[in-house]
Amino acid sequence: MATIPGILKLGTRTEIRAVAIYTFSNFFSKGVSFLLLFYFAHALTEADFGLLNLFSNGILFLMPFVSMGILQSVNTEYFKKDKKEFSNFFSTTLLMPMVVTLLAMVLLYFFRNQLQQRYSFPVTFVVLIPLITLFNFLNEHLINMVRNSNDPVKYLFVNIGRLLAEITLAVFFISALEFGWMGRVMGIFISYLMVAVYAFFYFREQGFINRSISKKYIYEELLYSVPIIVMQVGVFCMGSSAGYFIQYFTHDFAQVGVFSIAATFGSIIIVLCTAMLQYTYPKIYSLLSQQKVDYAAIRWHFLFYGGVMLLGTGMVIIATPVAYSLVLKQSYHEGLSYYFFICFGYFFWSISYFLYAFMLYNKEKRKILMASLLSVFISILSHTLFIKYFGAYGAAVSMCVVYFIVLLITIAFVRKHLTLLFSSNPSKIH
């Protein structure tokens, strides 16, 4: 694996250096996680993995309601507003997720018995899931602002620092204190808490926070939050909800655990997607904000991104069976019969995610809402049909089908931009 100094010296162009750092950061994080997968697979049972999968997916489900589209909105407004106006906007929107977190705790407490009976949720999840979701929001907010400020080195150390803290604490709690799956949860909680505290110091240092609270921004963000929340719920339904469907129809945490391991290997594609978009999204937003949009430059970014994602997907499909044989015990190998469906599905989503940049930048609320509602409906219908009759194997097939259909829907909604992107003379268009 390349060293950090080697990454920093790559090329002479700032763009190459930035892409290299973002990619290295995301892949180093995932690489460390995979090296420790062997440890967790032996220290924890398949049922433990299943419970942890439902826990992490509970956070993913709650995330859009806590973030309320603020992450996407702040990313676009950063390039549109002046420093003072952006500070007012940032300060106002930072309070909204905290209120939602408190409401989520109350709601989960109210339904705690139903969650316990259906999914065997421990009572501690009532507090931990909303809090970790809020800390995760602050972590995402921090790395987005670091990225928008064009500081890839700080992005690198924030990402890696949080991961190393999480892993170190988890190993200590599991091996030294024998806390089992709860030790993994405690490692996640403490590491995200540390980053959340640092995020407030960084926001204040950069002048993003002041004491101004604007009712206008609250109203605007509440309107914008509806399609973004539905969009994020759609993202959850397409992929992460599969574990809940498997548990619902099979009542088998072990089967959920085996599926989650296969999805973890496939998620390398999402890691690559995230790494590329950390660099690409700000570039696309910057190009779209120009008086004359340079669609030729955007096309170059799209083709480069698509080529990298296709190559990365192929490498993951080829390498996964080798990784399984090296780090996982035989009981997990059932996932090899369907992991490639998950990989193809993630590739389709990575292309859709790039195309979403056009709708997000222009805040096309109606299109985002319609595309998201369709993705939710298709996901629920497909997961129900496939998982009810084929279990975890059906979940993988369903994910592939759903992501492909969603890609077609996304293309339909951004066809105007794609026409400009691939026109015979897509240079600079008003």
First to last CA, the chain: 44
Does residue 295 belong to any structural domain of this protein?
yes
Task: Answer yes or no: do 139 and 247 share one domain.
Answer: no
Integer angstrom CA distances of residue 65 from 59, 177, 228:
10, 34, 9
Task: Please give the average per-residue pLDDT across 412-429, as a whole number.
Answer: 73
Task: Answer yes or no: do 43 and 90 share one domain.
Answer: yes
In whole angstroms, give the CA distance from residue 265 to residue 206.
37
Query: What DSSP element (H or E) covers 112?
Result: helix 112-119
In whole angstroms, give the CA distance from residue 234 to residue 241.
10
Question: Among 176, 196, 223, where does a domain finish?
Answer: 223
Task: Answer yes or no: do 247 and 330 share one domain.
Answer: yes
Question: Among 192, 223, 254, where does a domain finish?
Answer: 223
Task: Please give the average per-residue pLDDT across 120-147, as a whole number.
Answer: 80
Return the pLDDT at 5: 46
Task: Answer yes or no: do 253 and 340 share one domain.
Answer: yes
Does residue 430 register a pLDDT over 50? no
Does residue 127 belong to any structural domain of this protein?
yes
Helix, strand or coil, per DSSP, at residue 293: strand
Task: Answer yes or no: do 219 and 245 share one domain.
Answer: no
Integer angstrom CA distances of residue 386 from 225, 381, 383, 392:
31, 9, 5, 9
Question: Among 193, 223, 253, where does a domain finish?
Answer: 223
Does residue 407 register a pLDDT over 90? yes
Lowest-confidence range among 123-127, 264-268, 335-339, 395-399? 123-127
Task: Answer yes or no: do 401 and 280 share one domain.
Answer: yes
Task: Answer yes or no: do 430 and 306 share one domain.
Answer: yes
Does residue 219 belong to any structural domain of this protein?
yes
Does residue 3 belong to any structural domain of this protein?
no
In whole angstroms, give the CA distance from residue 217 to residue 88.
9
Task: Answer yes or no: do 308 and 414 share one domain.
Answer: yes
Task: Answer yes or no: do 186 and 304 share one domain.
Answer: no
Task: Answer yes or no: do 180 and 246 share one domain.
Answer: no
Tell me the pLDDT tens digit for each residue of 18-46: 666 666 666 566 656 666 666 676 677 66
- Residue that is written with structure tokens 């959850």 in the block: 236
In whole angstroms, give the CA distance from residue 342 to residue 351.
15
Return the pLDDT at 429: 46
> How many structural domains does the chain have?
2
Domain encompassing residue 211: 36-223
Return the pLDDT at 29: 62
Return the pLDDT at 6: 47
Looking at the DSSP assignment, which residues form a beta bridge with residue 294?
428
77 contacts 91 by C-beta, under 8 angstroms = no
Among residues of the chain, what percentage have pLDDT more than 90? Answer: 9
Does residue 372 belong to any structural domain of this protein?
yes
Tell me the pLDDT tens digit for each residue of 4-20: 444 444 444 555 566 66
Task: Answer yes or no: do 327 and 257 share one domain.
Answer: yes
Tell me the pLDDT tens digit for each residue of 155-210: 777 777 888 888 888 888 877 777 777 788 888 888 888 888 888 888 888 777 77
Tell me the pLDDT tens digit for each residue of 371-394: 888 988 999 999 999 988 888 888
Does residue 411 belong to any structural domain of this protein?
yes
Return the pLDDT at 34: 60
Tell me the pLDDT tens digit for each residue of 231-272: 777 777 787 778 778 877 877 777 777 888 888 888 888 878
In whole angstroms, give the CA distance from residue 93 to residue 74.
9
Average pLDDT, the chain: 77
